[in-house]
């Protein structure tokens, strides 16, 4: 097989079969929420305590330029748990990425458990005591073990200063190759035939 034909076959294969892309399952940046201490949320249920919706232009804005975000330890000396109001659909065995931005209101050591209910994901996240925490990014991959679940963040403690949360994103990670169409063998046969004709003409 000559190099031109080999290149044509490779190009045809790549055009008809390749990796599929990721898809967003859920996202929330909290910018549509009303700034308030002990606030409420549109997409999340709050239990076991309270949270504060802060940021904006000047409302307890520890990270200017990032819009609204949450302090997961509200102003009642009782840190809250948030959980998405609607269950999210998963494909069992599929890999997903849960990511978020975080910071801290205060200097105390803080911790929370976060994840996806239904046994899909549960992980501890902790910040040691210290100074200011730069607004940072965190992500974790997990394989879905059930067909549905709710994202949750459950803050420990209660001193009115806690972990700051923003830009929650859940996306599928699809690295599988798209199945080759049934017409591909016919196409390859045609290309091989053209290669054979070209060789005969040269002879």
Q: What does 13-72 look like in DSSP terms, one character per residue?
A: HHHHS-BPPPEEEEEE--TTSPPBTT---SSEEEESSB-EEEETTTBS-SSTTS-EEEES
Record the pTM. Answer: 0.77
CATH number 2.60.120.200 given to 21-176: yes
Q: How many C-beta atoms surround the C-beta of residue 73 within 10 A?
A: 30
Would you give per-residue pLDDT tens digits along the chain (203 residues)?
Answer: 554 444 444 444 433 444 456 799 999 999 999 999 999 999 999 999 999 999 999 999 999 999 999 999 999 999 999 999 999 999 999 999 999 999 999 999 999 999 999 999 999 999 999 988 999 999 999 999 999 999 999 999 889 999 999 999 999 997 554 444 555 455 455 555 555 555 666 65
Question: Domain residue spans in the chain?
Answer: 1-18+180-203, 21-176
């Amino acid at each position: 097989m000559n190099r031109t034909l080999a290149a044509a076959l490779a190009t045809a294969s790549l055009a008809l079969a390749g990796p599929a892309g990721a898809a967003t399952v859920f996202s929330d940046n909290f910018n549509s929420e009303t700034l308030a201490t002990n606030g409420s949320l549109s997409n999340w249920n709050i239990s076991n305590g309270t949270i504060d919706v802060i940021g904006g232009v000047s409302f307890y804005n520890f990270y200017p330029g990032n819009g609204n975000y949450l302090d997961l330890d509200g102003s009642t000396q009782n840190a809250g748990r948030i959980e998405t109001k609607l269950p999210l659909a998963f494909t069992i065995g599929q890999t997903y990425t849960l990511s978020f931005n975080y910071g801290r209101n205060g200097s105390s050591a803080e911790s929370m458990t976060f994840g996806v209910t239904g046994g899909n994901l549960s992980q501890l996240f902790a910040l040691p005591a210290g100074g200011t925490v730069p607004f940072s990014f965190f992500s974790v991959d997990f394989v879905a073990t059930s067909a549905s679940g709710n994202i949750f963040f459950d803050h420990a403690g209660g001193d009115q200063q806690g972990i700051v949360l923003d830009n929650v994103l859940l996306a599928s990670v699809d690295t599988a190759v798209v199945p080759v169409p049934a017409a591909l063998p016919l196409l390859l046969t045609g290309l091989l035939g053209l290669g054979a004709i070209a060789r005969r003409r040269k002879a």
